[in-house]
Amino acid sequence: MAEIKLPKHVAIIMDGNGTWAKKRGLPRTLGHKKGSETLVEVAKMCSRRGIKYLTVYAFSTENWSRPKEEVDYLMGLPQAMLSRYEDDLMRDNIKLKFIGFREKLGKNITSIIDRVEEKTKNNDGMVLLVAFNYGARDEILEAAKSIASDVKNNKLEIDDITKEYFSSKLFTSGVPDVDLLIRTSNQIRISNFLLWQISYSELYFTNTLWPDFSEKDLDEALFAYNNRDRRYGGIKK
């Protein structure tokens, strides 16, 4: 029997919440609510399958331009979801980590994020990274500024700037690069998500709207990954 290749790190662009709601004549906020519930289930599925890292795109730095009512609802989701599911994270041995720019988030959001990150920091099962107020270009820009500052202050020599060192300055420091990137809702683009970390990722796009993303959809994505030939610029021997 051929060996099954599981990705160590899966990233998901969770698209289609608004479309899902519109098709049902519902407010977009209810689409986001259903999508957040889907996230909980998919995280548990990934954990059960032995996937070590799962990164999800929850709120981008560009999402601030959406209608105020929608943004306000999305800003309240972390507090509501973490209050409801933090015991599940402990029971399922999942470590939670938020990545993104926290300065613009309210104190209520950051305080509960800090608390749950601290509570789950010793869990040694799957690591769930939630990209919230995240943008890859800004992440790379901030890393470059930090490195420039280190050089300017004589903490670092130019020749010491390696790919590994640059990676250590990103929000995902210590986390391996993404093996499989999934995007739902038939949208075939990257949308400023983990641009450095997905350099050699396998990409998988599905028509399924995120709130409808099921165990079957996940397994189809994993099956597709299992059948890919990852060459990293080389050739198959």
Six token digits for residue 235: 């050739």
Six token digits for residue 157: 């020599």
In a domain, 141, yes or no: no
15 catalytic per annotation: yes
Annotated catalytic residue: which of 15, 92, 179, 217?
15
What is the distance between the alpha carbons of residues 70 and 11, in angstroms, rounded to a whole number?
A: 24
In tens, the pLDDT along 206-225 reads: 999 999 999 999 999 999 99
What is the distance between the alpha carbons of residues 85 and 32, in angstroms, rounded to a whole number?
A: 16
In tens, the pLDDT along 34-63 reads: 999 999 999 999 999 999 999 999 999 999
Report the pLDDT value the prediction gives residue 179, as an integer from 0 to 100.
98
First-to-final CA distance of the chain: 20
Residue 99: which domain range? 9-135+178-226
In tens, the pLDDT along 57-87 reads: 999 999 999 999 999 999 999 999 999 999 9
Annotated catalytic residue: which of 63, 123, 192, 226?
63
Instruction: List beta partners, residue 180.
Output: 10, 202
In a domain, 145, yes or no: no
In a domain, 37, yes or no: yes
99 close to 130: Cβ distance less than 8 angstroms: yes
In a domain, 45, yes or no: yes
In a domain, 112, yes or no: yes
CATH number, domain at 16?
Answer: 3.40.1180.10
Which of 21-39 are b and which e, b meaning 16 or more Cβ less than 10 Å from the residue's Cβ? beeeeeebbbbbbbbbebb
In tens, the pLDDT along 144-198 reads: 999 999 999 999 999 999 999 999 999 999 999 999 999 999 999 999 999 999 9
Report the pLDDT value the prediction gives residue 88, as an integer from 0 to 100.
95
What is the distance between the alpha carbons of residues 221 and 207, in angstroms, rounded to a whole number?
A: 12
Phi and psi for 12 in degrees, rounded to 5?
A: -130, 130
Report the pLDDT value the prediction gives residue 4, as an integer from 0 to 100.
78
**Residue 236: band (very low, low, confident or very high) from pLDDT cuts 50, 70, 90:** low
Overall domain count for the chain: 1
In a domain, 158, yes or no: no
In a domain, 97, yes or no: yes
What is the distance between the alpha carbons of residues 194 and 135, in angstroms, rounded to a whole number?
A: 8
87 catalytic per annotation: no
Report the pLDDT value the prediction gives residue 237, as an integer from 0 to 100.
58
160: left (phi over 0), alpha (psi -120 to 50) or beta: alpha
In a domain, 168, yes or no: no
Give the CA distances from residue 185 to residues 15, 19, 59, in Å, rounded to whole numbers and listed in that order.
6, 8, 16
